[in-house]
Structure 1
Amino acid sequence: MLSEQNLKGIYVPVVTPFQTNHTLDLASFESYLKHLLVHDINGLVINGTTGECPTTSWEEVTSQVEIAKIVMKQLNKTVPIVIGTGTNDTLSSLKRTERAGELGADAVLVVTPYYNKPTGKGVVAHFSKIAEAGVPVIAYEIPGRTGIRLSVDTIREILDIPQVIGLKDSSGGVELVSELSRYGSKPVLCGEDLLFHASLSQGASGGMLASANLNTATFIDVYNRYMSGEISESKKQFDELVPMIRLLFEQEPNPAPLKWILSELGWIESDSVRLPLLPISDPLKAEIKKHI
């Protein structure tokens, strides 16, 4: 299982491939993982935002975890598996976390409750209840999707829960990781792809980055060089990734652009996404083609 001591490096949130009729495409998922797992990533994230978690069933999540284990065995690799289990219903999140533990998850990713707009105390109680499952928890702050922005004090309370091993920070800036680092916080993984290098400079322990599905080796090198003190070389490499990162996130919603690229590369059969998401537009396809 993951712990706060080894929550660092590059974690890749994977897509959930669908066939053209929008059913789960496990053959594509297996092929895709074989491409991805040749790289020495630090963790694989199943059923996150990039995996279209609002539209997947637990049976589909289970199937993906089973395929991931098979591929790792074939490649003779062991990569920690993080499963997204957070919802805006505490008891549902607890049950999903218990099931994730039964599947052998090394940790779970639990998003701040969305839509309900609980108080800070309510959010802390939410995470405390989920922690009862006994599975390591990575808290996930992403106010752009949840509708609430937690205070630093509330996040520190969440991180004080023994079962919570760290935070994925998609708050939209580097202020949070900077503030937490000043207090000697548990590890913080950057979840804002464009801010990855800046977050490292403020004390982030790594990144959980959808764009690391592409140019994976470069993302790993950016991290390793930064940690070894080659700051300017690391920044130069990261700057070369920025145009593609912008195309993945700034025009149409993730993971539709990423899925289209993966299908163009032949890693997955179809770029299908489930409603209410739509496949990307022709103008964006044309723009992306200039970079792949």
Structure 2
Amino acid sequence: MLREKDLHGIYVPIITPFDEDYEVDAASFYNHVYNVFQDDVDGLVVNGTTGESPTITSEELGILFTTAQAAREAAHVNVPLVVGTGTNDTLSTVRKTEAAGKLGADAALVVVPYYNRPSQQGIIEHFRKAASVGVPIILYEAPHRTGVTLELDTVRTILDIDGVIGMKDSTPNTRLVSELTRLGSKPILCGEDSLLFAALSSGAKGVMSASANVETERFVAFYRHFLAGQHEQSKQLFDELLPLIRLLFEEPNPAPLKWLLEQQGVIESGILRLPLMSVTEGLKEKLAVYV
């Protein structure tokens, strides 16, 4: 299982390919995961929101996870496999986290409950219940998606729960990671791709980047340069990646990623499950330079 001290580096929340019948395309998934492992990433997230987790059944999660395990073995790497288990219902989150543990997940990524906008105390209790399962928990804060913003004291309380090993921070600036770093905190991974360099400079221990589904090797190099203290080289790489990052979030994630991966021949189809739809012709023209 993933330990607090090992939560760092480049984590890729992997996309879930579907075939023409909207079924999980395990062959494309294997191909993509294997390629990502070959690029020396530090961790992989299966069934995150980039993987269209709200549309994935428990049976499909089993297929995805065992396929990722097979790709990891074939790539001769031993990086952690994190599973997205968060929902806006505590009991469902607990059950999904239990299922992830039985599959062999190294940790569970649990998003702050969305839509129903619970109180700060309700959110704390949600994470207590999730952590009680025994699978290491990574708190995922994404207020622009959940409809609720965690207060600093709430974040610190959740991070103090036994079994919570760190946090994915997708807030729209670096204030939270800066303050947590100043106060002393479990590891923070930046989940806001346009802020990756700024977040590392503010104390983040790594990134959980959807954009790293493509150009993975360059994202890894960006982080390795930063870790080595080669900040100018790291910043230069990030500045080169930033136009792509912006395009990948110009329309709802993961539609641009899946279109680009299809064009690059990594996956057979960029199909998404409704309500998500493929990218517009205008964005395709912009992304075509990366094919």
Amino acid at match of 1:5: K
1:193 is displaced (CA, Å) by: 0.5
Q: Hey, what does 2:49 align to over in structure 1?
A: 49
Amino acid at match of 1:254: N
Give CA deviations for 1:128-183 in whole Å, capped at 9, x if unaligned. Answer: 01111000000000001100001011000000001000000001110010010011
Partner of 1:130: 130
Please give the residue correspondences for 1:58-69 in structure 2 after superposition, counting only pairs within 5 Å: 58-69=58-69
Secondary structure at the aligned position of 1:173 is classed as coil
The whole-number CA distance in structure 1 between the counterparts of 2:27 and 2:278 is 20
Instruction: Determine whether 1:28 maps to 2:10.
Output: no
CA displacement at 1:72 relative to structure 2: 1.6
Q: Counterpart of 2:221 in 1: which secondary structure?
A: helix
Q: Cα deviations across residues 64-120 of structure 1 (Å, max 9, x unaligned)?
A: 110111112222221210000000110110011011111110000000001111111
Would you say 1:271 and 2:276 are equivalent positions? Answer: no
**CA-atom RMSD, angstroms?**
0.8
Q: Measure how far apart 1:290 and its partner are.
A: 2.2
Deviant stretches of 4+, over 3 Å: none
- Aligned pairs for 1:112-123 (under 5 A) are 112-123=112-123
2:197 aligned with 1:207 = no
- Per-residue deviation, 1:217: 1.4
SS in 2 for 1:207: strand
- CA distance in 1 between counterparts of 2:25 and 2:32 reads 11
Say which SS state the counterpart of residue 110 (structure 1) adopts: strand
1:287 equivalent to 2:286? Answer yes
Partner of 1:167: helix, strand, or coil? strand
> Take 1:185 and 1:70, find their aligned partners in 2: how far apart are those partners?
34
Distance 2:185 2:36 in 1: 31
CA contact (8 A) 2:136 2:164 kept: yes
User: Gapped runs of 5+ residues in structure 2?
Assistant: none
Residue aligning to 2:252: 253
Q: How does 1:64-79 map to 2 (within 5 A)?
A: 64-79=64-79
Q: Distance in 1 between matches of 2:145 and 2:282?
A: 26
Unaligned runs of at least 5 residues, structure 1: none
Deviation at 1:186, TM superposition (A): 0.4
Counting only pairs closer than 5 Å after superposition, residues 33-182 of structure 1 correspond to structure 2 as: 33-182=33-182
Count residues in correspondence: 291
The percent of aligned pairs where both chains have the same amino acid is: 52
TM-score by length of 1: 0.98
* TM-score, length basis structure 2: 0.98
